[in-house]
Structure 1
Amino acid sequence: MLKVEFRIDQNGRELTEHRTVTLPVACYETTIVRNVHGHIPLHWHDELQFVLVVQGEALFYVNDQKIVVPQGDGLFINSGCMHMAEERGEKNNCIYLCLNVSPQFVVPSELYLKYVHPYISATNLPYLHIKREVPCGAQVLNAIRHVKKDLAEQAPFYEMNVASSLLTIWKHLITSGYALEYDPSKIIRSRRIKDMVEWIHLHSAEPIKLEDIARAGQLSRSETCRYFKQMLKTTPMQYVIDYRIQKSVELLQLQERSITEIAYEVGFNSTSYFINQFRKIMQITPLKFRREMELRNKEGY
């Protein structure tokens, strides 16, 4: 099984370009365990995301919320929301369709300010669970399948079919009776956690203290810990370790770097500590991980 690398920039923004040659939309199949980390790492993007779980069960984290999405159900993740995904349970081989679309493309430009901007600006709409047993939910999930099919086949006028499906999806979402709220404190909190995450990503190879992270978010140390615990379900310093391991996974695919070189390059000051933390998080040693990745890449699976 070919492992896939999930790339994010220093601000936590996903680097995948979610578009075709002609349309600012992409729909692809994601198998969670195929990611080199064994899960989809924490990230965010400007695009709206619609998920349809086609096999197994997924556990999504969106901002400070945890959502279990069973097979056949879906999930809407709003623009700019930090999120990650992992399998629910062991070895269920969860697969989902992921539809990402620019907010400016879901409706004609003349309708954007009225029918899209209020929803991506709302602070109480980070996600919506799309349930298959609800009629409007079933129509949204079916429209996701149509977009996937149209983008793959690209039959004549497929662009119009995609645009029509996106209108259907968005209309069902905004007519669900959801009361929008705009809480300035939530906007500030979201910005602060992104600022702290960005600072960690920029300085991950350097010695990092809790005070440094707190300063980046303009918070006290205790408030910083509370932010990370509530929104990212971890501690600030554990997030630093997790991110360093994430960076090491990328470097381990470069055969010319030794394990010790990689350990120090990503910010660990001890090779043995790096190996212990890598084994704890990845359930495998760095050397064995490198060998397995090399074998998989050679065999092409």
Structure 2
Amino acid sequence: MSMRKILVDDTNRELCPHGTESFPMTVSHDDLWDFEGKSVPIHWHNDLEISLPRKGEAVYQIYQKSYHLNPGEGLLINRNVPHSCHSPGNQPARYSTILVRPDFMYGDFGSDVEKNCFRPFLQNAAIPCVLLSPDTPSHQQILEKLNLIEQLFDHKPYCYELKIKGLLCQVFSDILFESQNYFSHYSPSNQLELERLEQMLNYLNTHFDSVISLQQLADHVHLSREVCCRLFKKMTGKTITAYLEEYRAKKSFSLVQSGQYSMTQIAAMAGFSNASRFASGFRKYFGCNPGEYNSLKSQD
């Protein structure tokens, strides 16, 4: 069975639309083990994302902070916030995800609801995400509404669209009301930083199969090497070296799966300096040596 992928462009912005133009929200049910590397790579999108773990622990990386989520908890991720997810200890993790375009709730841009309620949240770098804990009574009520949204979307009873929209408006009304203390410390989203990250990822993703020097990358985005490293770590929570190793390991997956190439050939095709580094990187993200993968797969 082929592994799932997040379809992104060369800057890691997700390309797959969520929902439809006439109903711009959706609910998905995923298992981290269905993705290459048993993890969801760094990506972002214009939609709001709410993750609801159902089995196992999921670790979300939001900028430089890690959030460990267990069943019963939830995490709201603001739009255009780079994020990734993995499960610790090589254990399965199942979760449901609600993705919704903000204007589904606020209507026209410039409306009072957009201007007074959503804009201070959506354009506030001080609130990249909101952790929802069942130990907080108000959060418990929000989580119950989110579970009901999932049920309505899955079963689609008559007027489920209207019921879902109403519940989403209630959910975000409660979340935005609780988040208003952050609005007094408003920090406008830095679009330039996101654009610089897009440029860096585009360069890394298109040159992964060759030797990349930090100076080349820094020159490409017109930054010093030091600023380049700090910005990348700030926006992704990873070093450039760690990101490249992970990206190359995932690129090698289909080559290993095909069984058509030697380890030395795959190492060169995926951008690793030698077969030893390739084996180490593959083992780190897939839990076994590349030579062992197909034999382990045949035993499943």
Assess same fold via TM > 0.5: yes
Conserved? CA contact 2:123–2:188, under 8 Å: no
- If the length of structure 2 is used for normalisation, what is the TM-score? 0.86
Partner of residue 270, structure 2 = 266
Structure 1, unpaired ranges of 5+: 297-301
Partner of residue 107, structure 2 = 108
Give the CA deviation at 1:251: 4.0
Distance 1:73 1:65, change over 3 A: same
Conserved? CA contact 2:10–2:206, under 8 Å: yes
User: The residue matched to 1:226 in structure 2 has which SS?
Assistant: helix
Partner of residue 182, structure 2 = 179
User: What percentage of residue pairs aligned between the two structures are identical?
Assistant: 24
What are the Cα deviations for residues 224-258 of structure 1, in whole angstroms up to 9, with x where unaligned?
A: 22333444333212322221112222444445555
Once the two structures are overlaid, the 10-residue window that deviates more, 48-57 or 12-21, is 12-21
Distance (whole Å) between structure 2 residues aligned to residue 253 and residue 150 of structure 1: 39
What are the Cα deviations for residues 243-278 of structure 1, in whole angstroms up to 9, with x where unaligned?
A: 111222244444555554443333235344323332
Residue 17 of structure 2 corresponds to residue 17 of structure 1: yes
User: The residue matched to 1:118 in structure 2 has which SS?
Assistant: helix
What are the Cα deviations for residues 101-137 of structure 1, in whole angstroms up to 9, with x where unaligned?
A: 1122123334334432332111111001111122321
Distance (whole Å) between structure 2 residues aligned to residue 59 and residue 191 of structure 1: 26
Q: Which residue type is aligned with residue 26 of structure 1? A: T
Residues 191-206 of structure 1 correspond to what in structure 2 (within 5 A)? 191-206=195-210
How many pairs were matched up? 295
Q: Which residue type is aligned with residue 170 of structure 1? A: F
Give the CA deviation at 1:87: 2.2
Give the one of 159, 164, 167 matched to 1:165.
167
What are the Cα deviations for residues 210-230 of structure 1, in whole angstroms up to 9, with x where unaligned?
A: 112222333211222233344
Distance (whole Å) between structure 2 residues aligned to residue 118 and residue 184 of structure 1: 9
Partner of residue 299, structure 1 = none
Distance (whole Å) between structure 2 residues aligned to residue 42 and residue 236 of structure 1: 13
Structure 2, unpaired ranges of 5+: none
User: The residue matched to 1:116 in structure 2 has which SS?
Assistant: helix
Q: Which residue type is aligned with residue 217 of structure 1? A: V
Distance 1:120 1:250, change over 3 A: farther
Conserved? CA contact 2:125–2:189, under 8 Å: no
Distance (whole Å) between structure 2 residues aligned to residue 125 and residue 61 of structure 1: 14
Distance 1:276 1:70, change over 3 A: closer
Partner of residue 56, structure 1 = 56
Give the one of 288, 291, 300 matched to 2:292.
288
Conserved? CA contact 2:90–2:287, under 8 Å: no
Once the two structures are overlaid, the 10-residue window that deviates more, 16-25 or 27-36, is 16-25
Give the CA deviation at 1:294: 6.5
Distance (whole Å) between structure 1 residues aligned to residue 261 and residue 14 of structure 2: 26
- If the length of structure 1 is used for normalisation, what is the TM-score? 0.85
User: The residue matched to 2:53 in structure 1 has which SS?
Assistant: strand
Residue 209 of structure 2 corresponds to residue 210 of structure 1: no
Give the CA deviation at 1:14: 2.7
